[in-house]
Structure 1
């Protein structure tokens, strides 16, 4: 994993299905000029995640993305406009999230600054290799998980992020 730099995996979204994920992931790595065999253990780990995601979500297809970044991507606290997202940070700091009691939903709906959305405390944070399932707003009655990317710009850190959405 430490061989991947910030520009090694462009943020590309790919469609997939339970029966095609392994091949879709290999094809994505090849398109990015990465040898899948050089990452076979990591690839095996990533291939286990869709099995669980498709079982839990009952989705027949999904979008996945695999990206590297050294930027502050989603700095605003927000809720995804997806029914369900699986997320795993393989390198670097993980996604920050708020417990429902920490969220000022009115401020969130008004696109207020993060300080107004966060009622108290500090965000929780996924550790590397932790797998999170985050419900978004569609079908969740405005109670989707509020989260953001951690600040890393200028720190020299690189995040390697895997997501699946349905």
Structure 2
């Protein structure tokens, strides 16, 4: 008798796991990330025109710089203002962006009962993570303030054996990772998404598969991410 049989029989292959996306035009969708059968939650929001104009102005004037900060709901706004160093000609624009980011920090920390979060604000003119992959983390918040946004795949559309070295050097579109370009989903500018990773409890083999969007000619992206720390 194989002594391993009782153990292996209890292991549920990743292919049999069911995971779905939750999407709503309301921030109240965010707690659905706690549902075991959900590996991405998307708050489909339209940015206020004043915020969009502010971001466009700041990027056009080269007034933003990449940031990596450890922030709390209490100090996020002040830390951002200090780091971005607004000047007289862009003070209102910087304030608008910092207020929105601080709100997301508060929501993220409240949702996951965190005292602090790891904040990264990046201006990108090329893909940061061009290949589809999963993150070895519990969960990450992502939002794109300007430009094309993150691409992702439904769990049921992924052949996970083709991730990483399993692609055998072939592009994602040719490796067998997914069957059709129609399988690729994409966030929109302004969307706030929670991406569940491999280190979420009981989510090994079901972390969201995602990548940076292909490079858009003459376009910069402003990307915010929040992580557990």
- Range class of TM-score, shorter chain: 0.7 to 0.9
Tell which structure's C-alpha radius of gyration is larger.
2
Q: Distance in 2 between matches of 1:94 and 1:6?
A: 22
RMSD of the TM alignment (CA)? 2.3
**Partners of 2:154 and 2:183 within 8 A in 1:** no
Deviation of the 1:9 alpha carbon: 4.0
Consecutive unaligned residues of structure 2, counting only runs of 5 or more, are: 1-54
Instruction: Note the C-alpha offset of 1:41.
Output: 2.1
C-alpha distance in 2 between matches for 1:159 and 1:81: 24
1:127 CA displacement? 0.6
Deviations 1:84-138 (A, max 9, x none): 1111101000101111111111111544242332244331111111100111111
TM-score by length of 2: 0.64
Question: Quick check: 1:165 aligned with 2:227?
Answer: yes
Identify the residue that residue 56 of structure 2 maps to in structure 1: 2
Query: Residues 54-93 of structure 1: matches in 2 within 5 Å?
Result: 54-93=109-148
The aligned counterpart of 2:32 is: none
* Higher RCO (Cα < 8 Å, 6 or more apart): 1
**Contact (CA 8 Å) 1:86, 1:164: kept in 2 or not?**
yes
Superposed structure 1 runs of 4+ greater than 6 Å apart: none
TM-score (structure 1 length as normaliser): 0.86
**Structure 2 residue corresponding to 1:135, chosen from 196, 202, 221:** 196
Partner Cα separation in structure 1 for residue 152 and residue 95 of structure 2: 30
